[in-house]
Amino acid sequence: MRRVPVDGVARFPDLPTGELQARVVGQLVSVLRERFLAAPRPPAALAVAFAGPVGRTGTVVDAPTIWGRRGPDLPLARIIGQELGVPARVLNDVTAAGWRYAVPGGEDDDFFCMVTVSSGVGNKVFHRGEVLLPQDGRGGEIGHLRVDFTPDAPRCDCGERGHLGAIASGRGALHATRELARRFPGVFARSSLSAACGGDPGRLSAQQVASGIHGHDSFAVHAVTPGVRHLARTLATVHTALGVRRFVVMGGFARAAGEPYLRLLAEEMTKAGSFLLPPSGEAQDMLHPAAPDDDGLIGCVRLLDRPAACPDDAALPLLPSPGTP
């Protein structure tokens, strides 16, 4: 597997949405074509896990972490299929990851919520081996729930302020840590984060913040706690509204922060105060780290091996998306 930076809004923040869409599609097609040429024999078909709401036909409804503000719906599966001359399937990346854990024809207690904490925040709920989504793929976008209503709330990739993804994601954690470091330089200087970035908060990375949490650095934990609290309250709402008792937490930031991050998230879920949540200490049992592999890659393969779950698709071999938006 190869990872390359995506030619999206993070690299080209001043480009209009339409141009960013064209760049991302061109980059994706180019990488997939390279894989075709390198394959021992031409693949008969392909599938892509994509970061954004995706309808059943492979049309991308939106992708704020990739091209920022909302653009026109993008029929990505059709475009890829036409460019490469093979059938193509495109599905949401968190949905793809969920298929790694779903049990075909599962019992009623096979009920869980995938949660990703990476460059953004998202979720998908699965019940009895199926994802709970409408035909157009809308849903499972808790990252775009507004949780901070102050005028200077962090701005989300979609352009709005105060969204959960802008506050609780890896990018949000980095922003919060940098701001706290600038407000309290003396305290920051005594943290492991200061040593990691040479004392310059502007040089901090989300990976370093996650490593600080994993290493129980008190400054890092204090900085990210407000964002974790917002995420915990949102998950407590999902639990209270739907009865979900199992949350599988994935994403680069959450994975790097590890068990201390899940423990902090569980503590804040307990504090949320839902009468349906288990007593203090037991909320930890509701949170499960995702497996240390490429969940989306495995999930797509498992889904596409299940013709009953997607009758319009053949069993398609998966080629991964080219970046980590």
pLDDT tens for each residue of the chain, 325 residues long: 677 889 998 899 999 999 999 999 999 999 989 888 888 887 777 778 998 899 988 999 989 889 988 889 999 999 999 999 888 889 899 999 998 888 766 666 689 999 999 989 999 999 988 899 888 888 889 999 999 999 999 999 888 999 999 999 999 999 999 999 999 999 999 999 999 999 999 999 999 999 999 999 999 999 999 999 999 999 999 998 998 989 999 999 999 999 999 999 999 998 887 666 666 556 788 999 998 877 788 887 777 666 533 433 333 333 333 343 3
Separation CA 124–CA 122 (nearest Å): 7
Tokens of residue 133, six digits? 């989504």
- DSSP H or E stretch at residue 127: strand 121-127
pLDDT, position 27: 94
Q: CB burial class (10 A; 0-12, 13-18, 19+) of residue 128?
A: middle
pLDDT, position 252: 93
pLDDT, position 308: 38
Separation CA 323–CA 51 (nearest Å): 10
Q: How many CB atoms lie within 10 A of CB 194?
A: 20
Rg (CA), the chain: 20
pLDDT, position 151: 94
Q: How many residues appear in the chain?
A: 325
pLDDT, position 299: 82
- Closest to 256 (Cα-Cα) out of 169, 177, 187: 169
pLDDT, position 110: 81
Tokens of residue 284, six digits? 């930890």
pLDDT, position 283: 76
What's the start-to-end Cα distance of the chain, in Å? 15
| Residues 61 and 55 sit within 8 Å (Cβ to Cβ) | yes
Phi, psi of 249 (to 5 degrees): -100, 120
